[in-house]
């Protein structure tokens, strides 16, 4: 669960308020506030690519002559590290086993069936895939659909209708939300990943029954995801299964992001969390993530599958999956199950686990607030403020890293983020480059989150000698040659000591002064000139000859009770804060 500070929440809300206020002002001048209001961010979305979604992709360059109202493609491309596509097992870029068989199926069946499944749209490949999927996930039967999103949005109304109750996780995917709304059933939402609140809702609804009549619910279905696509967190499946068994509620599990990507043999969260697939009534998944294809599936009992084949509009009226897409999934699953005669599937699963855990742990070491559980290939870097998203995306692209940024309504209002997806195709060198670019981007924008503790304070009796030495040192500071160390031409009359070459100073129009030290793991902002001078004075001590010591913080003046200064001068920055204290004593 993400914990927001009051300051972060306040500044994010202020950002949304500014956008809303500008919209009202446009209305006053008879200019409608519509999608064009987001023109300045349009270049961050829908970037066309000119290659397969492999570990590296070619992003087509675009330009605009009217402030992003219209974007024009060029013939130039930029080679970028791909951290945005959910090509978890790396099958989307071609495979020595899959690709020849896909080409063969294309020659034999053509790109499409031109028919629905109940008419002439079922091929031998479709029947073979449904049998393989049922065996792979451990259910008696399965049925496939041409689109993953439609699988949820059309299956849920076919399963639950009027007189039924749907209880959905608060962070479920939009396809589930739309399917629940279209069903006509009553819909309740429980707190994300909270089995206790789910049990409270089930108990309450079992007692109350249907509104007005009080009759028992015809059916109660609990819907959750294996991996939540915007958080990268696993569902608490064992606890939820136990709760649903207790109250005899059905479980609908969406494994779009987990099937093929997690578990010892890639069989999803049931295998990972030790849950018997028989305890999950309906298992949904897609072929667009781990298997590098398109479409979705439902796996359940024989009775449910037979019912859905004649009750679900997506099966009755929509064109069936393309035969080459079906063959791609068939071949990919056979690689995962080692039915191709090699152990490449096991290597891919081990690689994605190792890479995901490495990337997540390194981001956390850098100080990022990262969502997602271990072994999950999805992780989110929290940016919070809406204004940071386009800047983060553009700076990463400028440094040849392609990322996806996400904000409301895909996420809660205060929790804007950059979503990272790791692939088995990524090498360790690729991941190191991605980490380096994201670190540099946050340093340059002064967004670096500080996880340091508030400094402990020494007593004055312990530091009398140190104070006197630091007063003498500060009086002898030489301020010549200051401007050659600054990236901004003039900083009033508060210079940085010329001999401290390991610190650079910048003036940002958005965030005020910021100082970077080569010995410090974070960047902090100094919005007051005197604070800037005091900080520079603290840095003036000879860090090469002075051994590290716990910082001294006898803050008695309101001016220096600035959290940024306190946090920046943590013990592992090797800075002497006693010199600052001497100036105000």
* Cα–Cα dist 331/333, whole Å: 6
Domain final residue, candidates 390, 413, 444: 444
Residue 90 placed within a domain: no
> For 389-430, how does the pLDDT look when each residue is reduced to its tens digit (9 = 90+)?
999 999 999 999 999 999 888 888 889 999 999 999 999 999
CATH of the domain at 203: 3.40.640.10
Q: Are both 207 and 240 inside the same structural domain?
A: yes
> For 344-372, how does the pLDDT look when each residue is reduced to its tens digit (9 = 90+)?
999 999 999 999 999 999 999 998 999 99
When pLDDT is averaged across residues 447-459 and rounded to a whole number, the result is: 39
Specify the range with the lowest mean pLDDT, choosing from 3-12, 127-136, 543-552: 543-552
Q: Please give the torsion angle defined by the CA atoms of residues 72, 73, 78 and 84, in that order, rounded to the nearest 10 degrees.
A: 80
Which one has a higher pLDDT value, 557 or 289? 289
CA distance readout (Å), 512 to 213, 445, 517, 524, 532: 62, 11, 17, 10, 10
Residue 453 placed within a domain: no
Which positions ≥6 away from 495 have C-beta within 8 Å?
Answer: 479, 482, 483, 536
Q: Are both 148 and 266 inside the same structural domain?
A: yes
Q: Are both 413 and 496 inside the same structural domain?
A: no
The DSSP code for 401 is E
In this predicted structure, what is the pLDDT of residue 25? 74
Domain final residue, candidates 336, 359, 374: 336
Residue 16: pLDDT band by 50, 70, 90 thresholds? confident
Whether 373 has a pLDDT exceeding 90, the answer reads yes
Residue 254 Ramachandran class (φ > 0 left, ψ -120 to 50 alpha, else beta): beta
Residue 450 placed within a domain: no
Residue 93 placed within a domain: no
Residue 465 placed within a domain: yes
Q: Are the C-beta atoms of residues 337 and 329 closer than 8 Å to each other?
A: no
Domain final residue, candidates 293, 314, 336: 336
In this predicted structure, what is the pLDDT of residue 135? 97
Q: Supply φ then ψ for residue 170, to 5 degrees.
A: -65, -20
Q: Are both 485 and 580 inside the same structural domain?
A: yes
Length of the chain, in residues: 585
The DSSP code for 308 is H
Highest mean pLDDT among 262-276, 385-399, 459-473, 540-554 belongs to 262-276
Whether 118 has a pLDDT exceeding 60, the answer reads yes
Q: Are both 375 and 468 inside the same structural domain?
A: no
In this predicted structure, what is the pLDDT of residue 1? 65
Cα end-to-end span (Å), the chain = 43
How many structural domains does the chain have? 3
Q: Write down the mean pLDDT value for the chain.
A: 79
Q: Is the peptide bond before 409 cis (omega within 30 degrees of 0)?
A: yes
When pLDDT is averaged across residues 263-290 and rounded to a whole number, the result is: 96
Give the DSSP letter string of 472-530.
HHHHT---TTGGGGBSSS--TT-PPPTT-TTEEEEEETTTEEEEEETT-SS-EEE-SHH
> For 228-262, how does the pLDDT look when each residue is reduced to its tens digit (9 = 90+)?
999 999 999 999 999 999 999 999 999 999 999 99
Residue 454 placed within a domain: no
Whether 12 has a pLDDT exceeding 80, the answer reads yes
Q: Are both 223 and 312 inside the same structural domain?
A: yes
Q: Are both 317 and 357 inside the same structural domain?
A: no
Q: Are both 150 and 196 inside the same structural domain?
A: yes
CA distance readout (Å), 425 to 53, 92, 341, 350, 495: 10, 10, 20, 12, 49
> For 310-348, how does the pLDDT look when each residue is reduced to its tens digit (9 = 90+)?
999 999 999 999 999 999 999 999 999 999 999 999 999
SS3 200: helix
Strand 416-421's sheet: what is its strand order?
370-371, 378-384, 416-421, 404-406
Q: Please give the torsion angle defined by the CA atoms of residues 559, 560, 565 and 566, in that order, rounded to the nearest 10 degrees.
A: -140
Handedness of CA 360, 365, 370, 373 (dihedral sign): positive
Surface-to-core class of residue 227, CB atoms within 10 Å of its CB (0-12 exposed, 13-18 middle, 19+ buried): buried
Q: Please give the torsion angle defined by the CA atoms of residues 463, 467, 469 and 472, in that order, rounded to the nearest 10 degrees.
A: -170
- Give the domain range for residue 514: 460-584
Residue 1 placed within a domain: no
Q: Are both 23 and 159 inside the same structural domain?
A: no
Q: Are both 466 and 431 inside the same structural domain?
A: no
Strand 401-402's sheet: what is its strand order?
56-63, 72-82, 401-402
In this predicted structure, what is the pLDDT of residue 339? 94
Handedness of CA 368, 373, 374, 380 (dihedral sign): negative
Q: Are both 154 and 287 inside the same structural domain?
A: yes
Residue 88 placed within a domain: no
CATH of the domain at 356: 3.90.1150.10
The DSSP code for 454 is P
> For 139-151, how does the pLDDT look when each residue is reduced to its tens digit (9 = 90+)?
999 999 999 999 9
Q: Are the C-beta atoms of residues 298 and 283 closer than 8 Å to each other?
A: yes
> For 20-48, how does the pLDDT look when each residue is reduced to its tens digit (9 = 90+)?
787 777 666 654 444 444 567 888 999 99
Q: Are both 125 and 221 inside the same structural domain?
A: yes
Do the strands 401-402 and 416-421 form a parallel or antiparallel pair, or are they unpaired?
unpaired
User: What angle separates helix 148-159 from helix 174-183, to the nearest 10 degrees?
Assistant: 30
In this predicted structure, what is the pLDDT of residue 206? 93
* % of the chain beyond a pLDDT of 70: 73
CA distance readout (Å), 67 to 37, 43, 64, 471: 11, 10, 6, 54
Residue 447: pLDDT band by 50, 70, 90 thresholds? low
CA distance readout (Å), 84 to 87, 232, 404: 9, 13, 5
When pLDDT is averaged across residues 108-137 and rounded to a whole number, the result is: 95
Whether 174 has a pLDDT exceeding 70, the answer reads yes
């Amino acid at each position: 669960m993400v914990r927001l500070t009051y300051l972060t929440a306040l500044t994010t809300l202020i950002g949304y308020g500014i956008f809303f206020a500008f919209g009202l002002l446009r209305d006053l001048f008879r200019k409608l506030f519509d999608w064009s209001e987001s023109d300045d961010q349009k270049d961050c979305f829908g970037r066309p690519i000119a290659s397969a979604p492999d570990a590296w992709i070619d992003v087509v360059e675009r330009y605009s002559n009217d402030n992003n109202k219209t974007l024009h493609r060029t013939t130039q491309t930029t080679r970028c590290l791909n951290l945005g596509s959910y090509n978890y097992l790396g099958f989307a870029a071609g495979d020595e086993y899959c690709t020849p068989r896909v080409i063969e199926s294309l020659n034999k069946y053509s790109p499409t069936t031109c028919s629905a499944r109940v008419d002439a749209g079922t091929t031998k490949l479709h029947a073979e895939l449904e049998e393989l999927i049922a065996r792979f996930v451990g259910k008696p039967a399965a049925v496939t659909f041409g689109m993953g999103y439609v699988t949820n949005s059309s299956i849920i109304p076919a399963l639950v209708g009027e007189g039924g109750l749907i209880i959905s996780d608060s962070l479920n995917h939009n396809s589930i939300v739309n399917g629940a709304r279209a069903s006509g059933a009553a819909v309740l939402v429980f707190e994300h990943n909270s089995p206790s609140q789910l049990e409270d809702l089930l108990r309450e609804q079992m007692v109350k029954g249907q509104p007005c009549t009080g009759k028992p619910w015809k059916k109660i279905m609990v819907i959750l995801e294996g991996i939540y696509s915007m958080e990268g967190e696993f569902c608490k499946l064992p606890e939820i299964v136990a709760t649903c068994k207790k109250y005899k509620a059905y479980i609908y599990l969406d494994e779009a992001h987990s099937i093929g990507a997690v578990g010892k043999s890639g069989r999803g969260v049931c295998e990972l969390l030790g849950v018997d697939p028989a305890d999950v009534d309906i298992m949904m998944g897609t072929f667009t993530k781990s298997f590098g294809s398109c479409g979705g599936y439902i796996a359940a009992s024989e009775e449910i599958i037979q019912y859905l084949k004649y009750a679900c509009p997506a099966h009755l009226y929509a064109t069936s999956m393309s035969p080459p897409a079906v063959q791609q999934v068939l071949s990919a699953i056979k690689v995962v199950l080692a039915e191709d005669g090699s152990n490449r599937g096991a290597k891919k699963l081990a690689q994605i686990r190792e890479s995901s855990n490495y990337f997540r742990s390194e981001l956390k070491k850098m100080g990022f607030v990262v969502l997602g559980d271990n072994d999950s290939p999805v992780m989110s870097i929290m940016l919070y403020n809406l204004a940071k998203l386009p800047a983060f995306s553009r700076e990463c692209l400028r440094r040849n890293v392609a990322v996806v940024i996400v904000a409301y309504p895909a996420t809660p209002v205060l929790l804007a983020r950059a979503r990272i997806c790791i692939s088995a195709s990524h090498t360790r060198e690729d991941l190191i480059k991605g980490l380096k670019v994201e670190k540099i981007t946050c340093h340059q924008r002064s967004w670096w989150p500080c996880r340091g503790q508030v400094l402990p304070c020494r007593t004055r009796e312990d530091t009398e000698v140190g104070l006197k030495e630091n007063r003498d040192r500060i009086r002898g500071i030489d301020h010549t040659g200051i401007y050659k160390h600054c990236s901004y031409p003039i900083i009033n009359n508060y210079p940085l000591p010329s001999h401290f070459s390991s610190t650079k100073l910048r003036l940002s129009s958005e965030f005020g002064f910021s100082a970077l030290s080569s010995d410090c793991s974070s960047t902090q902002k100094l919005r007051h000139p005197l604070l800037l001078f005091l900080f520079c004075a603290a840095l003036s001590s000879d860090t090469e000859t002075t051994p590290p010591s716990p910082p001294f913080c006898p803050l008695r003046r309101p001016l220096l009770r600035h959290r940024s200064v306190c946090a920046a001068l943590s013990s592992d920055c090797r800075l002497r804060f006693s010199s600052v204290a001497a100036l105000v004593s």
